[in-house]
Chain A
């Protein structure tokens, strides 16, 4: 199992540019989560998909952020336009939701720097 795959690993961009982060969840998992991690705020849930449908996007900070999950094996998180305060590590995680208790498996993360 390749685990949760995120790309790119690092992204440096200029303020105002569009940034797209990508995620491939573990095959068979039906829940996908996008988190942002900073020193000050820790891990914050941005958006959550269940069976490719967005269930909770209350953590998306502004309209500049959008996320899609067109199929069970791919999701994107887009920031347009990007700002320096968006600099953080963005994690994608997936899980199986059903009977029982399941933790999340995290991808390696994308370290975003907006200058």
Chain B
């Protein structure tokens, strides 16, 4: 079982619709959860993070966390063509030697169509 699992997609949504991206993780010791966006040929960039059960909203983005189900999701409202990218889910746990280790899923490709 992979530590972080995502559907590779592509997930196609029409412009203006809500895109829903999902992620499950296996390590119950995971403490923080991150969503990164990666455009083709570019580096990952942080969109938002969440660490408490429930929802966290930032503009058009909402992250949802359910630790009991080991499930994280990202909702993108009013999807725009510029949102077309690969979305990477990452989970973090503290290391005994110090610091946090981020483990990434393989990403979900999102396509927002005109």
Does B bind A? yes
> In the bound complex, how far is the Cα of B34 from the Cα of A100, in angstroms?
14
List, in ascending order, chain A residues with CB within 8 A of B95's CB.
48, 50, 55-56
> In the bound complex, how far is the Cα of B57 from the Cα of A45, in angstroms?
29
Query: Contact partner of B99 among A31, A106, A107, CB < 8 A?
Result: A31
Question: Contacting chain A: which of B14-22, B41-49, B60-68, B72-80?
Answer: B41-49
> In the bound complex, how far is the Cα of B88 from the Cα of A35, in angstroms?
14
How many chain A residues touch B (CB < 8 A): the figure is: 26
Residues of A contacting B: mostly: strand
How many chain B residues touch A (CB < 8 A): the figure is: 25
Counting CB contacts under 8 A, is B30 at the interface?
A: no
- B residues bordering A, Cβ < 8 Å? 32, 34, 36, 42-46, 49, 51, 88, 90, 92, 95, 97-107
Q: Contacts A42-B107, A97-B100, A107-B43 known; list 12 others, CB within 8 Å.
A: A31-B99, A42-B88, A50-B99, A51-B98, A95-B99, A101-B32, A101-B49, A101-B92, A103-B36, A103-B102, A108-B43, A109-B43
Provide 5 A-B residue pairs closer than 8 Å at the C-beta atoms, listed in order of the A residue.
Answer: A30-B99, A43-B44, A51-B98, A55-B98, A102-B100
